[in-house]
C-alpha cells in the first residue's frame, strides 16, 4: 500500500508539479540515503513514457554542498531534474546554472516516504493562490515585524527585494523549488535585521526543538548570540565552520501548506501553515549577496506578523 502511495506521489511530482511534457527528458539525482525515493521517481518517469536517467552519488555533508562536476553538467542537459537527496542542492551553483539554462529543477532535501506522500497530497492550486498572494504583499512591504509569545521580537527590512513564491507548480522554463512545497520567502537587506527570534519549531540540521528553544540575538544583520542548551551549541558549531557570513540573516519565509506538519525535516517544517522561518547563511539564490556553503532555517511556531502596519498573521492564524 505504501509503495502505491509513493508511486502516486511520484506521478503528482512529475505530471502536476513539473508538468513534464511528451518528449522531455527527466534526470533524477539521488544519493545512497534517498535512493528508494530516487528510484521510485525514475521508474515512475519511465512508466509515464519519459526518457529518464538515475544518478546515485555519495550523500553530501551539508546543505548547499556542490555535487560532482559531471553531475552539475548533466543537470544542464535535461528538461526536468528531480533531486531527492539527504542534503539540499537548492543553494548550489549546479542548481542555479541548470535553472539559468531553462531546466525545471525540483529539490527534495531530506525527503522521507511519509513527507513525500503527505506533502504531495496537498491542493497545489490552493497553495499557488496563497503563495502568490503573499508574494504581492511581500513586495509592497518595507519592514516585516515578527513577535511570538515566547520571546521573538525582530524587524527585517525587505525594501525592494523580490519575493519568491514556492508554489509547487513549476511549469515554465527555469522554474523550480522544493517538493513538497508551499512557502513564500525573501532575502532581507544585508546588515539591517535587528532583534531576537526564538526557534521553537525545528532547526535545519538539528530537527524538532522540543522543550528548550534556541534564542538567536541579531544585530545589524548578524546573529551575535545563540543560546538555549545543547541544540544551540550544535547550531553555533555548524555555523562557525564557515566564518562570519554564515551568521548572516539570509531569509524570512512564511509557510503555506496545510498538509505539512512539524516532523523534524526542514523540507516539510518550513512549509507548515501558521509558521514563519528565518534562515542564516547563504541567500544568493533568493536575490541576496551572501554566498557561503550553508543555509539553515529556524521555524517559529504561532507568530504574529506585521507587514509594515498591516497585521497578516496573529498567533499563527493567517488574516489575509
Pick from 119, 134, 164: which residue ends a domain? 119
Domain boundary among 93, 119, 145: 119
Indicate whether 100 and 69 sit together in one domain. yes
**pLDDT at res. 190:** 98
pLDDT for 100-112, tens place per residue?
A: 999 999 999 999 9
pLDDT of residue 311: 98
* Average pLDDT rounded to a whole number, residues 33-57: 98
Query: Based on the domain organization, do 243 and 137 belong to the same domain?
Result: yes
Examine the domain organization and report whether 208 and 294 are in the same domain: yes
Same domain as 129, residue 115: no
pLDDT in tens, 136-182: 999 999 999 999 999 999 999 999 999 999 999 999 999 998 899 99
Q: Which residue has the higher pLDDT, 166 or 236?
A: 236
pLDDT average, residue stretch 4-13: 95
Give dist(CA 317, CA 297) in Å, integer.
21
Average pLDDT over residues 35-63: 96
- 106 and 146 share one domain: no
User: Where residue 1 falls among pLDDT bands split at 50, 70, 90?
Assistant: low
pLDDT score recorded for residue 34: 97
Q: Which residue has better confidence, 285 or 183?
A: 183
Q: What does each C-alpha distance from 140 to 87, 277, 310 come to in angstroms?
A: 33, 20, 11
User: Is pLDDT at 219 greater than 80 in this prediction?
Assistant: yes
Three cell numbers at 201? 519549531
Q: What are all long-range contacts of 143-147, with beta carbons under 8 Å and residues at least 24 apart?
A: 143/307, 143/308, 144/188, 144/252, 144/305, 144/306, 144/307, 145/305, 145/306, 146/197, 146/252, 146/276, 146/278, 146/300, 146/303, 146/304, 146/305, 146/306, 147/303, 147/304
Predicted confidence (pLDDT) at residue 285 exceeds the cutoff of 90: no
- The mean pLDDT value for 180-187 works out to 95
Assess whether 73 and 182 both reside in one domain: no
Instruction: Decide if pLDDT at 84 tops 60.
Output: yes
Q: Which residues are within 8 A (CB) of 94 and not within 5 positions of it... i.e. 6 or more apart? A: 66, 67, 71, 72, 75
Question: How many domains is the chain built from?
Answer: 2
pLDDT of residue 63: 83
Half-sphere exposure (Cβ direction) of 103: Cα atoms closer than 13 Å:
27
225 and 172 within one domain: yes
133 and 113 within one domain: no
pLDDT exceeds cutoff 90 at 218: yes
Cβ 302 vs Cβ 310: under 8 Å: no
Q: Say if residue 105 is in the same domain as residue 175.
A: no
Residue 258 banded pLDDT, cuts 50, 70, 90:
very high
Instruction: Please give the average per-residue pLDDT across 31-38, as a whole number.
Output: 97
Task: Return the CATH number at 89.
Answer: 3.40.1830.10
> Within this chain, do residues 130 and 91 fall inside the same structural domain, yes or no?
no
Looking at residue 243, its pLDDT comes to 97
Q: For residue 2, is pLDDT > 90? A: no
In this structure, the answer to whether residues 169 and 22 fall within a common structural domain is: no
Q: Is the pLDDT of residue 213 over 80?
A: yes
Domain boundary among 119, 154, 181: 119
What mean pLDDT is reported for the chain?
A: 95
- In this predicted structure, the answer to whether residue 64 has a pLDDT above a threshold of 90 is no
The mean per-residue pLDDT over the stretch 265-280 comes to: 95
CA dist 97 and 102 (Å) reads 9
The pLDDT assigned to 62 comes to: 84
Residues of the domain holding 102: 2-119
Same domain, 170 and 311: yes
Amino acid at each position: 500500500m505504501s509503495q502505491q502511495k509513493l508511486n502516486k506521489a511520484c506521478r503528482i511530482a512529475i505530471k502536476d508539479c513539473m508538468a513534464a511534457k511528451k518528449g522531455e527528458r527527466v534526470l533524477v539525482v539521488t544519493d545512497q540515503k534517498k535512493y528508494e525515493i530516487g528510484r521510485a521517481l525514475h521508474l515512475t518517469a519511465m512508466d509515464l513514457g519519459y526518457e529518464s536517467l538515475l544518478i546515485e552519488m555519495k550523500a553530501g555533508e551539508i546543505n548547499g554542498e556542490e555535487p560532482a562536476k559531471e553531475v552539475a553538467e548533466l543537470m544542464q542537459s535535461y528538461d526536468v531534474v528531480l533531486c531527492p537527496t539527504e542534503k539540499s542542492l537548492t543553494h548550489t551553483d549546479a542548481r542555479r546554472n541548470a535553472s539559468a539554462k531553462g531546466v525545471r529543477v525540483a529539490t527534495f532535501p531530506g525527503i522521507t516516504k511519509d513527507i513525500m506522500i503527505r506533502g504531495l497530497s496537498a491542493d497545489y492550486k490552493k497553495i499557488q493562490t496563497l503563495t502568490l498572494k503573499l508574494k504581492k504583499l511581500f513586495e509592497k512591504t518595507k519592514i516585516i515585524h515578527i513577535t511570538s509569545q515566547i520571546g521573538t521580537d525582530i524587524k527585517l527590512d525587505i525594501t525592494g527585494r523580490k519575493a519568491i513564491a514556492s508554489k509547487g507548480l513549476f511549469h515554465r522554463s527555469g522554474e523550480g523549488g522544493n517538493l513538497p512545497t508551499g512557502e513564500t520567502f525573501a532575502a532581507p537587506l544585508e546588515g539591517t535585521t535587528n532583534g531576537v527570534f526564538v526557534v521553537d519549531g525545528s532547526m535545519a540540521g538539528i530537527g524538532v526543538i522540543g522543550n528548550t528553544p534556541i534564542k538567536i540575538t541579531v544585530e545589524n544583520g548578524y546573529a551575535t548570540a545563540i543560546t538555549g542548551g545543547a541544540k544551540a551549541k550544535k547550531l553555533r558549531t555548524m555555523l562557525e565552520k564557515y566564518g562570519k557570513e554564515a551568521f548572516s540573516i539570509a531569509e524570512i519565509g512564511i509557510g503555506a501548506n496545510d498538509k505539512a506538519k512539524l516532523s523534524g525535516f526542514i523540507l516539510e517544517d518550513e512549509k507548515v501553515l501558521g509558521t514563519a522561518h528565518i534562515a542564516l547563511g547563504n541567500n544568493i539564490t533568493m536575490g541576496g549577496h551572501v554566498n557561503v556553503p550553508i543555509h539553515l532555517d529556524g521555524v517559529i511556531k504561532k507568530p504574529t506578523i506585521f507587514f509594515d502596519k498591516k497585521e497578516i498573521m496573529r498567533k499563527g492564524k493567517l488574516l489575509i
